[in-house]
Structure formats: structure tokens, C-alpha cells
């Protein structure tokens, strides 16, 4: 590890990590908390982390090389890196099948158990660090009541007969992140990421957004066909056109009538 900061309670581990990165934190430094009082998700949403209920941490990564497709690809691939690593731990350590709802959610049986939030730090036009924030629900206490009622979220322990040892999970997750990070620009990474995608071959509606995560009110409807090299989602629209969505998120597919 580059360094570790642990907090029994903190606003948001991403906020602490961003400040630490700006003060020069080493590559692979970790900020982790038992409770977050102001956890953040994508598009301005909140993320809840009650004490003892899950994992909430942020890793500071110093990217090496930007790949052929530039910074957008680097950032999207880091979102994929976090989600893929969680899927692999669930699969290989806990024998739990899980899938990635592009771009940043991990699902067990179509319900969200984990979210990934990637934020970047820049010096002029140079990307100098990436904060990879990951939140995982281990118990039902991690899930806001409204999401429990709508059954859109789940916790890992619902699918296991024994409680999850959080440190054990964290250890395996960090090992997966290290391993896949070294293959970030290889075909194997893209293949593993694509083969973990949820709703491949299914019709979905995607609410597109700008690079800052703000909705631009466009809805793209189509069948998911795979991943573009830069991490964008490939879709075949209802008129048979092949398009790539680079920023956005899949609308709640259970509410989409096509
Ligand atoms: C999402 O689903 O929209 C992403 C959720 C990301 C939550 C994690 S928890 C650790 C880190 N700190 C935060 O404030 N957010 C991320």
C-alpha cells in the first residue's frame, strides 16, 4: 500500500482521498471508513454507509500511461476495474454470481450491491491521480429504506449462509484491483469486463449524460451488444443502427416498457 488512513466515521472517503491526493499521496494509498455521513454516488446521489454494514473505501491511483484512446478511456476503464474486481471476488471467494450494470454498479440477481465512483485530479490538462471509490452493502443496514421497498438494492449477506469478514473481502478485492490494473490496456481486461456485463443482448434504455455526470435528457434505446475499446457501451438501436454510449446510465430496466 502507498499509505492507509482509517476513520471510524467520516463524511466521504472520496473527499478525504481527493485532499490527500492533492497533498501528494503515493500510488495505491487507501482511505477507508466504518461509517460515512456524507457518502457520495454518481450524478449527485447519496451513498449510505452505516457502521458495520459494508465496505466504503477510496483508493488513490497514479495512472501510468493513458492508452490509445485518451483520458476518457482511462477513466472509464478504472470504473470497469473497480466493478470487475468486486465481481471477481464475489465469484471466486464467495461463489456468488454477479454482474456489472454498465458503467458502475455491481448486481446480484439484478439488484445493486455495490457502486463505484471514479473521480479525477488534474494539473492543467494532465490527469495526475484517480480516486477509485467503492461502496459495498454487506448487510441490510447498508440499504436505504426506499431502496429496500423498491427491491432495487441488495446486500451480500442475504445470499450467504455466513457473515462476510470485511477485512478478508478487502484483502481479496485489493489483490484483484492490483492484478487487473496491471492488465488495464490488455484485451484480457476488456474481455473479462465484457463477459461480466449484465443485460447483454437485452433491450435497455440509457439516459445519457455529459462528462460531469449531469443528465442531458437524451434517452437511447437499444440492445446491448458489448463494449467498445474505450469502455463505451455498444448498442443496436430499434432502427438497426450501431451506436456507442460513453457517458450515462441504464434506466431502471424493470420500469422500461419497450
Ligand atoms: C454509485 O453507485 O453511484 C457510486 C457509489 C460510490 C460509493 C463509494 S463509498 C466509498 C466512496 N466514498 C464516497 O463518498 N463514495 C464512494
How many A from CA of 234 to the centre of ligand 1?
25
For residue 181, report the phi and psi dihedrals to the nearest 5 degrees: -60, -35
Atom of ligand 1 lying closest to residue 36 CA: 14
Q: What is the DSSP letter of 14?
A: H
Per 3-state DSSP, what percentage of the chain is helix, strand, and coil (rounded to 5)? 30, 40, 30
pLDDT tens profile 81-134: 999 999 999 999 999 999 999 999 999 999 999 999 999 999 998 999 999 999
Closest CA to 78 of 156, 211, 195, 183: 183
147 compared with 78, residue with greater pLDDT:
78
Centroid of ligand 1 to alpha carbon of 241 (angstroms): 34
Distance CA 116, CA 76 (A): 11
CB 63 within 8 A of CB 126: no
Three-state DSSP class for 198? Answer: coil
Distance between CA atoms of residues 151 and 242, nearest Å: 32
Check if 14 has its Cβ closer than 6 Å to any atom of ligand 1: yes
Q: How many other β-carbons are positioned within 10 Å of the β-carbon of residue 167?
A: 9
Question: Is ligand 1 within 6 A of the CB of residue 113?
Answer: no
> How far is Cα 103 from Cα 205, in angstroms, rounded to an integer?
13
Average pLDDT (8-13) is 98
Instruction: Evaluate whether 200 touches 234 at the Cβ level (below 8 Å).
Output: no
**In sequence order, which residues have a C-beta less than 8 Å from that of residue 184 and are 6 or more positions away?**
67, 77, 78, 81
Cell of 165: 469478514
R_g of the chain, CA atoms, integer Å: 17
In which band, very low, low, confident or very high, does the pLDDT at 253 lie, cut at 50, 70 and 90? low
Q: Give pLDDT tens digits for 31-68.
A: 999 999 999 999 889 999 999 999 999 999 999 777 66
- Beta carbon of 115 within 6 Å of any ligand 1 atom: yes
Pocket probe mutation, ligand 1, options 7, 10, 11, 14, max atoms within 8 Å of Cβ: 14
Identify the residue with better confidence: 212 or 126: 126
How high does pLDDT run on average in the chain? Answer: 92
pTM of the full predicted structure? 0.94
Beta strands in 110-177 (DSSP E): 111-123, 126-137
In the structure grid, which three cell numbers stand for residue 99, read together? 454482474
Amino acid at each position: 500500500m502507498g499509505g492507509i488512513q482509517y476513520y471510524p466515521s467520516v463524511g466521504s472517503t472520496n473527499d478525504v482521498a481527493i485532499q490527500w491526493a492533492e497533498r501528494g499521496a503515493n500510488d495505491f494509498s487507501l482511505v477507508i471508513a466504518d461509517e460515512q455521513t456524507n457518502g457520495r454516488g454518481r450524478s449527485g446521489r447519496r451513498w449510505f454507509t452505516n457502521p458495520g454494514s459494508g465496505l466504503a473505501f477510496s483508493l488513490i491511483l497514479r495512472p501510468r500511461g493513458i492508452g490509445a484512446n485518451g483520458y476518457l478511456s482511462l477513466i472509464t476503464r478504472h470504473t470497469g476495474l473497480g466493478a470487475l474486481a468486486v465481481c471477481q471476488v464475489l465469484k471466486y471467494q464467495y461463489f456468488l454470481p454477479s454482474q456489472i450494470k454498465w458503467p458502475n454498479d455491481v448486481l446480484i440477481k439484478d439488484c445493486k450491491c455495490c457502486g463505484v465512483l471514479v473521480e479525477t485530479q488534474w494539473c492543467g490538462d494532465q490527469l495526475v491521480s484517480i480516486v477509485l471509490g467503492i461502496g459495498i452493502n454487506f448487510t441490510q443496514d447498508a440499504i436505504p429504506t426506499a431502496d429496500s421497498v423498491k427491491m432495487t438494492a441488495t446486500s451480500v449477506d442475504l445470499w450467504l449462509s455466513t457473515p462476510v469478514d470485511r477485512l478478508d473481502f478487502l484483502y481479496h478485492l485489493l489483490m484483484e484491483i492490483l492484478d487487473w490494473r496491471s492488465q488495464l490496456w490488455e484485451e484480457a481486461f476488456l474481455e473479462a469486463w465484457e463477459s461480466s456485463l449484465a443485460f447483454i443482448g437485452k433491450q435497455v434504455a440509457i439516459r445519457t449524460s455529459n462528462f460531469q455526470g449531469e443528465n442531458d435528457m437524451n434517452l437511447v434505446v437499444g440492445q446491448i451488444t458489448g463494449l467498445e475499446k474505450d469502455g463505451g457501451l455498444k448498442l443496436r438501436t430499434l432502427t438497426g443502427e450501431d451506436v456507442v454510449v460513453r457517458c450515462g446510465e441504464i434506466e431502471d430496466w424493470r420500469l422500461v416498457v419497450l
